[in-house]
Amino acid sequence: MNEVEGMQKTPRRRRDVLLLHIADPGDLVWITPVVQRTKVEADVQLARIEGNDCDVHLEISERGAGKNGDRMIVEIPADVSPGARKTLLDAVHVDLTEVPKYEPDPPLKITVTGYGFWDGAHYSPANPKQGHLHGSANVKNLWELHPVSKLVVTP
């Protein structure tokens, strides 16, 4: 991922916030919540409805990285982000409740704003950076944007 607005390359702990480069959590095992909003321009490579919480899960990559590029997860909860969710669902032209996953071809270009979240539930000592059972094999880190506060489809 490109450098993310407002985040630093070197982890810095503060009382309630940890700021770091979103694609490189390194060997961090647990962190305090990131409460800073982050804006990312990306390509949607995969979209699906998560069965355990009904959030829309997106796997996004850097613009132009292609379907095999490194990805991160973006989650759009219905109750927190109804406008962002509607924008995404209108743009994909597929009923995500009827398909296990949707891989737009070409990828959908979006600008998404949300809160950085390190999904420690998927942490694995064997693979601390990528974790386990965290999206497809192309998802290369435990960082997510969750919840999303704004999503814009871009040309």
pLDDT number for residue 27: 44
Q: Does the CA dihedral 116-120-124-125 come out positive or negative?
A: positive
CA nearest neighbour of 38 among 117, 128, 131, 153: 117
19/33 Cα distance (integer angstroms): 10
The model's pTM is 0.76
94/79 Cα distance (integer angstroms): 21
Torsion angles phi and psi, residue 139, rounded to 5: -75, 115
pLDDT number for residue 14: 36
Q: Are 61 and 43 in contact (CB under 8 A)?
A: yes
Torsion angles phi and psi, residue 82, rounded to 5: -65, -35
What's the pLDDT tens digit per position in 8-60? 333 333 333 333 334 444 444 444 455 578 899 999 999 999 887 889 999 99
- Name the DSSP letter for residue 82: H
pLDDT number for residue 150: 94
Q: Are 17 and 34 in contact (CB under 8 A)?
A: yes
What's the pLDDT tens digit per position in 127-151? 877 777 778 989 988 888 889 999 9
CATH annotation of 38-153? 2.40.50
- Domain residue ranges of the chain, discontinuous segments joined by +: 38-153
Q: Does the CA dihedral 49-54-56-59 come out positive or negative?
A: negative
* Sequence letter at residue 119: D
CA nearest neighbour of 147 among 52, 66, 57, 28: 57
